[in-house]
């Protein structure tokens, strides 16, 4: 008869193992990209075996679904539980750092979910935006119809923008900054004299876009690839898919692009060139630091409005580039952010560098999301309204306007 070993220690499964697995998966998906992470990587991150992980999740798609679903459910619960917009802003700012990678996974990886799940989550997020819009209208009944929707999505974008970078602050300062930025987005005055002036100044300022040029077969193929890579993801699109959508045969594609990766490199290169040209033109017209900042803002808004699929590509597919091109693209992004921070410092000297980076990232994320939100994209005044929102976030305009109104 076998007796129990009194010295044997039985390993106990930690009660929060499932949560630890999800947190590790979310961090790895954000860092490397969904397609570059394996179940074994997630298991190793929480120091368990892959079979142990499978006791909780069916596989990598299940991990992604649970992580994204949990994040959107938390947003929904936070909005639904809030008695007013002020309560929501404070709650969202105080808890936003706990789920920092959620927005990135939604924007970049959710398209890899089954269509039914993706559509359900999209609907849930839209309902949360509608509810937040109702809270904003409750605080601002004078708003023109439809503006509460733009402001609600802007607030959600500001709060989610911290997912796209690693800039940090002491927790209390970070929460205060998030609250302040989200509050500006919720209460920004739209249709102001500044906004009307921006619309007038923009006449003739647009740099020519690729869509204004004669479209060659090569351009047609590249445009099609950009759209498909954005809609489905680089890994889920084949050269045959691109050829069929562009009305080109396989040999015709290879005549211009040796492989699918070459299409991605060309697309990212195009994005950098277009943005750089718009930036140079805007700064070349500026005569003061303030004009440089507003010109930079408008140039990015115009770029994003023209190239929403390209924006999606730059958000979601840089991890699929070859190592050399990926590093170069990341450096271009860092240099572009540094340019914004430098110009912002010229306008508001002494601004904390970390806070400036976080603020600029909030502005860029708000613009990216607005041009890619279908109902907002239908607004004819979207460029002007985004200019007002961006200026408010960059310069703290909302607080100054409220003080002037009280005085």
Residues 38 and 69 in one domain: yes
Task: Give the per-residue pLDDT at 206.
Answer: 46
CA–CA distance, 135 with 137 (Å, rounded to integer): 5
Residues 193 and 108 in one domain: no
Q: Is the confidence at residue 101, as pLDDT, over 70?
A: yes
110-132 mean pLDDT: 93
Q: Is the confidence at residue 276, as pLDDT, over 80?
A: yes
Would 2 be classed as within a structural domain?
Answer: no
| 16: phi then psi, degrees, rounded to nearest 5 | -105, 25
Would 265 be classed as within a structural domain?
Answer: yes
Residues 348 and 213 in one domain: yes
Q: CA distances (Å), 84 to each of 37, 142, 184, 316, in order?
A: 40, 16, 16, 34
Task: Give the per-residue pLDDT at 247.
Answer: 86
Would 232 be classed as within a structural domain?
Answer: yes
Read off the tokens for 324: 């050399």
Residue with tokens 């041009």: 371
69-93 mean pLDDT: 95
Percent of the chain with pLDDT over 70: 88
CATH at 368: 1.10.357.10
Would 153 be classed as within a structural domain?
Answer: yes
154: left (phi over 0), alpha (psi -120 to 50) or beta: alpha
Residues 152 and 238 in one domain: no
Task: Give the per-residue pLDDT at 351.
Answer: 85
9-27 mean pLDDT: 80
284 or 165, which is more confident? 284
Read off the tokens for 3: 């007796």
Q: Which of 294, 335, 314, 302 is nearest to 107 (CA)?
A: 314
Task: Give the per-residue pLDDT at 399.
Answer: 46
Residues 66 and 201 in one domain: no
Q: CA distances (Å), 354 to each of 93, 162, 345, 350, 395, in order?
A: 17, 12, 12, 12, 15
Task: Give the per-residue pLDDT at 65.
Answer: 94
Spatial neighbors of 14 by CB under 8 A, at least 6 apart, are 20
Task: Give the per-residue pLDDT at 53.
Answer: 96
Would 12 be classed as within a structural domain?
Answer: no
Range from 180-189, 238-247, 351-360 carrying the lowest mean pLDDT: 238-247
317-335 mean pLDDT: 92
Average pLDDT, the chain: 87
Digit-coded pLDDT (tens) for 124-157: 999 999 999 999 999 999 999 999 999 999 999 9
Domain edge (last residue) among 167, 183, 199:
183
Q: Are 306 and 367 in contact (CB under 8 A)?
A: no
170: left (phi over 0), alpha (psi -120 to 50) or beta: beta
Residues 200 and 111 in one domain: no
Task: Give the per-residue pLDDT at 185.
Answer: 97
Domain edge (last residue) among 168, 183, 198:
183
pLDDT tier for residue 340 given thresholds of 50, 70 and 90: very high
Burial class (CB in 10 A: 0-12, 13-18, 19+), 3: exposed
Residues 355 and 221 in one domain: yes
Task: Give the per-residue pLDDT at 10.
Answer: 42
Would 62 be classed as within a structural domain?
Answer: yes
36-47 mean pLDDT: 96
Number of domains in the chain: 2
Q: Is the confidence at residue 401, as pLDDT, over 70?
A: no
Q: Is the confidence at residue 248, as pLDDT, over 50?
A: yes
Residues 174 and 192 in one domain: no
Residues 101 and 119 in one domain: yes
Q: Is the confidence at residue 183, as pLDDT, over 70?
A: yes
11 or 257, which is more confident? 257
Would 227 be classed as within a structural domain?
Answer: yes
Residues 196 and 295 in one domain: yes
Would 204 be classed as within a structural domain?
Answer: yes
Q: Which of 341, 347, 348, 393 is nearest to 367 (CA)?
A: 393
Task: Give the per-residue pLDDT at 350.
Answer: 85
Q: Is the confidence at residue 303, as pLDDT, over 80?
A: yes
Residues 60 and 112 in one domain: yes
Domain edge (last residue) among 159, 183, 207:
183
Task: Give the per-residue pLDDT at 397.
Answer: 56
Digit-coded pLDDT (tens) for 194-237: 544 444 454 444 444 444 444 588 889 999 999 999 998 898 89
pLDDT tier for residue 396 given thresholds of 50, 70 and 90: confident
5 or 354, which is more confident? 354
Query: What is the domain extent for residue 220?
Result: 188-406
164-191 mean pLDDT: 94
Percent of the chain with pLDDT over 90: 66
pLDDT tier for residue 28 given thresholds of 50, 70 and 90: very high
Residues 217 and 115 in one domain: no
59-83 mean pLDDT: 94
Angle 169-342-277 from CA coordinates, rounded to 5°: 125
296-322 mean pLDDT: 93
């Amino acid at each position: 008869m076998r007796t129990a070993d009194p010295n044997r220690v039985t390993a106990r499964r930690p009660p929060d193992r499932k949560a630890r697995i999800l947190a590790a998966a979310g961090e790895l998906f954000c860092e490397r990209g969904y397609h570059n992470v394996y179940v074994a990587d997630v298991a190793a991150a929480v120091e368990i075996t892959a079979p142990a992980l499978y006791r909780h999740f069916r596989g990598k798609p299940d991990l992604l679904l649970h992580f994204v679903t949990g994040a959107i459910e938390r947003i929904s619960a936070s909005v639904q539980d809030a008695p007013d917009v002020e309560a929501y802003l404070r709650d969202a700012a105080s808890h936003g750092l706990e789920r920092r990678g959620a927005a990135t996974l939604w924007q970049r990886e959710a398209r890899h979910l089954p269509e039914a799940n993706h559509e359900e989550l999209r609907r849930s997020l839209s309902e949360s935006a509608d509810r937040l819009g109702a809270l904003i209208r409750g605080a601002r009944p004078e708003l023109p119809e439809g503006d509460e929707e733009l402001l609600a999505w802007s607030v959600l974008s500001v709060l989610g923008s911290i997912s796209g970078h690693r800039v940090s602050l002491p927790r209390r300062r970070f929460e205060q900054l998030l609250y302040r930025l989200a509050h500006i987005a919720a209460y920004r005055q739209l249709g102001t004299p500044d906004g009307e002036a921006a619309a007038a100044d923009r006449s003739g300022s647009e740099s020519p876009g690729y869509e204004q040029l004669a479209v060659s077969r090569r351009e047609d193929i590249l445009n099609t690839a950009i759209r498909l890579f954005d809609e489905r993801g680089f890994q889920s699109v084949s050269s045959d898919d691109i050829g069929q959508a562009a009305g080109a045969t396989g040999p015709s594609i290879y005549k211009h692009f040796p492989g699918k990766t070459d299409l991605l490199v060309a697309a990212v290169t195009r994005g950098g060139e277009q943005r750089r040209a718009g930036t140079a033109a805007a700064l070349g017209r500026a005569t003061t630091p303030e004009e440089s900042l507003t010109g930079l803002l408008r140039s990015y808004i115009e770029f994003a409005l023209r190239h929403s699929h390209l924006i999606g590509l730059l958000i979601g597919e840089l991890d699929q580039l070859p190592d050399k091109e990926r590093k170069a693209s990341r450096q271009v992004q860092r240099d572009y952010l540094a340019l914004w921070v430098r110009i912002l410092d010229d306008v508001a000297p002494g601004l904390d560098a970390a806070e400036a980076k976080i603020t600029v990232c909030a502005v860029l994320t708000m613009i990216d999301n607005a041009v890619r939100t279908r109902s907002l994209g239908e607004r004819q005044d979207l460029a002007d309204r985004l200019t007002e929102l961006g200026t408010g976030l960059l310069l703290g305009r909302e607080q100054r306007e409220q003080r002037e109104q009280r005085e």
